[in-house]
Amino acid sequence: MNRSIFPLFIIFFILNTSSLFAQQGDSIRNEILSRRASDMEIISKGRSLTLEHLLKGDISALKDVKDYLAGEAFNPYKVYLPVEYWLLSFWTEDYTELLHEAKQFSANIDLNNGGYWQMPERFRPSSMLRMISDNDHLTEEAGKKSAESYLPLTVCIDNSELSVEEKEFLKLWLYSLLFTPDKVDDEPEMEEVNSMATGFLETYENSEYADYTRRFIRYRFRPGNWGLGYEFYLGHNALTGGLSHHFGNSIAGGFALDALYKDFDLSLRFNYASTKTNREVINHNINWPVNIKGYLIGADLTLQYPAFQSRDIKFMPFIGIGGMGMGPTDTEIKSHPELGDFKELSALNYLTGLEIKLNTWSKETDLSRYGGTYIGVRYTFYIPNYNRENNLLDGNMHMVTLSFGGFSRPPKRHF
């Protein structure tokens, strides 16, 4: 090849190759640009445009974007969270759609025994939508702007051509979406919303929207039928009759486990006290000498029912049955081996009394409903049957105790 032609060939080859690469790059670029946007991109940019129009107050453009995205996804809840779509629909005055969605939402939900529910599949946001909504602030801004414009939004509802019932429900629903507290079981905080919902239900008892109102606007709770409790106590025993002649009074202590059903309280109590003989006690021909320490133990089953109760105080009369036993302590038996054969003095006993429970420190405690911690003062009158075995041991026993305890009744949704 002629040397003068070779450089020209090289230049031609390079230019041609560059042109091919450029054409190939343009082809790839065009292919990328011509591709349809992904669902994530459409949802993300569409929500961003929704927020932009909402903040600007361009309701016509807002409606166009909302309707387009809902139609594109064949389900508005693939693009918006339920509360977002509902608030946006209040802004765009799509009241017929809102009323339809309220009926659909309540119709597709089954409540469990606790009064709680799982969102139907159609309304349940995808993981992708949750991820996008966590970052674009549409929920927060829609709620904030709607709360600021609550009165103008209700005026638009009142000016619509709906029935009075439909208007009242929509205003109630809007209020609940914006002003329901995070803790729906907080009765004082829920008082206003619940009062409005109850007013609607009383006025429109057979309303098509009564079901939604009961389930998702009004949240009332009552104590469950069953509950559990506990108590630790310390007090003083005072014996009477023949028992007081033979045994000294003493300090007593114990604990209790309670099972509650409605207002009834079944309490299993265990107590222990030390004592000392004032006179010789003879049982089965074995002597328990004077000034020898002993024990007094008891187990009682009592049934209590409140004569009066409020949030901070409870008066609980009770009756019961139990068993009581007395005998020398193990320490005394070691010192006096002859007491090893002493048979415990045991007897069936009946009892009655009154307990006062007080709450003086906790706002969370409600003694008349859900329970909580308390301090208590309890008086018990015991009627043992020791005189059946030893006629010198007639008499009864008084016990006064100071206690610390608590109980709980899990709240249950009440419709």
| In the chain, domain spans | 1-35, 40-218, 226-414
CA nearest neighbour of 200 among 172, 234, 223, 231: 172
pLDDT at position 1 is 47
**What is the average per-residue pLDDT within 359-388?**
89
- Interval 134-152: pLDDT, tens: 889 999 999 999 999 999 9
The H or E element spanning position 142 is: helix 138-148
* Contact residues for 264 (Cβ-Cβ < 8 A; gap 6+): 303, 304, 305
Say what percent of the chain tops pLDDT 90. Answer: 61
**What is the average per-residue pLDDT within 386-401?**
83
CA nearest neighbour of 125 among 90, 76, 72: 76
Statement: residue 10 has pLDDT above 70: no
Comparing 102-111, 215-224, 257-266, 359-368, which segment has the lowest mean pLDDT? Answer: 102-111
φ, ψ of residue 342 to 5 degrees: the values are -70, 125
- Interval 107-131: pLDDT, tens: 877 665 545 567 778 888 888 899 9
Distance of CA 193 to the CA centre of its chain: 19
Q: How far apart are CA 138 and CA 62, in angstroms?
A: 13
pLDDT at position 199 is 96
Average pLDDT, the chain: 87
Pick the CATH number of 226-414 from 2.40.160.20, 1.10.290.10, 3.30.230.70, 2.30.30.100: 2.40.160.20
Q: How far apart are CA 321 and CA 301, in angstroms?
A: 6
DSSP E strands in 217-344: the ranges are 220-223, 226-239, 250-261, 264-276, 281-283, 286-288, 293-304, 308-309, 313-328
Higher confidence at residue 54 or residue 282? Answer: 54
φ, ψ of residue 181 to 5 degrees: the values are -65, 160
The H or E element spanning position 88 is: helix 82-91
Statement: residue 252 has pLDDT above 60: yes
Q: Which long-range contacts (CB under 8 A, 24 or more apart) does 196-204 make?
A: 196/172, 197/172, 200/168, 200/169, 200/172, 203/168, 204/165, 204/168, 204/169
Statement: residue 24 has pLDDT above 60: no
pLDDT at position 35 is 42
Higher confidence at residue 24 or residue 329? Answer: 329
- Interval 402-415: pLDDT, tens: 999 999 999 888 88
- Interval 376-387: pLDDT, tens: 999 999 999 887
